[in-house]
Structure formats: structure tokens, C-alpha cells
Amino acid sequence: MPWQSLRITLDASRAEAFSEALMALGAISASLEDADAGSIDETPIFGEPTEPDAGLWQHCIVTALLAPDQRPVDLLAQAALAAGLAEMPAWTVETVDDQDWVRLTQSQFDPIPISPRLWIVPTWHEAPDSAALNIRLDPGLAFGTGSHPTTRLCLRWLDENIKGGESVLDYGCGSGILAIAAAKLGAGEVWGVDIDPQAIQAAAYNADMNGVNARFYTPDQAPATAAQIVVANILTNPLKALAPLLAGLTLPGGRLVMSGILEQQAHAVMQVYCKWFEFEAPAVEEGWVRLCGVKR
């Protein structure tokens, strides 16, 4: 019999309690995601070094996996009562076929060409071009597999601009993909920073798997050393908050490369950074923007 995937949209004040209630009532799993992801209202839940943690997203989607014999309407009614909701929220349910989830997940990730010489290749695939610079990287806990336009934009910039020996800082490193690419392309000293300790672990593992020398830190442990190239693939609001910090971490004459910015947000980000940087024309892919500024 097929499993059941239950989706409920709630505001942040109720989502976590509702998720915990579903688990207590027998849901196999429950997770939260940003209902505004991919829109101008998308926000991070982790605070940056310049500001406190933001807490949960304003609007959350609670997703729960139920066994075939569980009745969603009964479970929802009990969870709503336990979470203190006055009425049952709107919900949808879909059937999920029982299948080999590992093979299904792997089938969704093929090698990704970034340029003729640079590829992102999952470990279960053979490299399409063994002579290329192949970054071995699997989907995991940290953001950055090369499949998102913002990551590809940053990777292409590195591919076109790393000449050899540059110091590179990957701020908001996630999986470490940009730091690893910089090292493979010939950069000198390379390090990354992320507020998520799991991302630091994932990035260090990925760097080791790819045989490159790159170090990764949480913000409180990171060296205050400035770099010739700083890449930051985050989101607009954190980038605005981090402006003084990222400016200070970029050497005079160095370049700051930013993405995670929607096209309609680009001007506002450049306005915040314009006192430190001269910007080139933005690069755009699928509604996302990459900005590159030269430090005065």
C-alpha cells in the first residue's frame, strides 16, 4: 500500500508545535520548510554574525509522512487540539508509492556541466569528461550542489576569473562547493565560513573527498584575514546585513561576488555596497542575479 504525504501551511507561531504534535501522534516523519522559498519574501532562519537568529520563517509548510493505514483527518484534528489551534488548518494529502528511495533520489541528480572544463559529478556517476576539473559532490545537508542558478552563476565566475594563486573566501559556504571549485581552479589560500556547524562538517568532508586544501570555520572561529576574492551565495537580507563585514574581508582592489539575489533585488543590494565597491553589470539566470564589485 502507498504511504501518505500530508502538507499543512501555518504561521511560525503554530508550525513547530503542530509538527511536534504530529510526531507524538504517530507520524513517521515531520519537517518544516519556508512557504515563501524562491520569492522576494524568502528569509533565513539562522542569524548572521551582525544580527540575532530570526527564528522560524513567517509562513511554514509542515510536511508529514503517514503510514498507509493512518487517517489524515483524525490525525490533523488531534494535532490541532494539541497545538492549541482553534480550528483545523487547510491541508492536502498525496499518496507516495513504496519504492527504492536511494535509487530514486540518485536518479534525480546527473552530472552538471558548468563550463567545458568544469563539472559537478555525483559520486555514483562516472565523470562524462575524465580530463575535466570534476568536483565530486553529493546532495546532502548543506546547500550547494550546482543545480541552483545562483551556484552556477558563482561557479562560472570563478571559472572565468581565477588565474592562479589568489586568496579566496567562501562566505556562507554551505557544501563548500565554491571553495572547492576555487581550489581546483588554482586559487592559493582558500577558506570558507558558515553559521551552520553541519555545513562546516559537510564542506570539510567534501574538500577532503576532492583532494583540495580548504579550511572551514563558523564565524566565531574564522580568521579575520581579508581575501583577494570573496564569494557569498546567500540571500538578499543577510547580504545587506553583512555589508560592513564582507567589505572588511575584501582586500583593496579585490573582488566581491554575491548571489542568492532575485533580479528585482539587485539594485537595493548594490546601493548598500556602493560606498565600498564599483559594480560590473549584473549577470542574470532564471530570475537570479550575480553581482561582482571591485573594492576601492
Q: Which residue has 570539510 as its cell numbers?
A: 204
Please state, in angstroms and as integers, the Cα–Cα distance from residue 9 to each residue in 3, 22, 28, 31, following that order. Answer: 20, 14, 19, 12
Mean pLDDT, residues 119-136: 92
Burial 222-253 (b: 16+ CB within 10 A, else e): beeebbbbbbbbbbbbbbbbbbebbbebbeee
Q: Phi, psi (5° rounding) for residue 120?
A: -105, 120
Cβ(178)–Cβ(114) below 8 Å: no
Please, what CATH class does the domain formed by 3-98 belong to?
A: alpha beta
Q: What's the rounded Cα separation, in Å, for the pair 82 and 69?
A: 21
- For 238-286, what is each residue's pLDDT tens digit? 999 999 999 999 999 999 999 999 999 999 999 999 999 999 999 999 9
Q: What's the rounded Cα separation, in Å, for the pair 243 and 247?
A: 6
- For 4-19, what is each residue's pLDDT tens digit? 999 999 888 888 899 9
| Dihedral, 223, 227, 229, 230 alpha carbons, nearest 10 | 30
Cβ(195)–Cβ(48) below 8 Å: yes
Widest pairwise Cα distance in the chain: 64
Give ∠ CA 285-278-255 in degrees, rounded to 5. 70
Q: Which residue has the higher pLDDT, 86 or 244?
A: 244
- The CATH code of the domain at 142-295 is 3.40.50.150
* Residue 123: band (very low, low, confident or very high) from pLDDT cuts 50, 70, 90: confident
- For 178-216, what is each residue's pLDDT tens digit? 999 999 999 999 999 999 998 999 999 999 999 999 999
Pairing assessment for the beta strands 59-66 and 112-115 based on DSSP bridges: unpaired
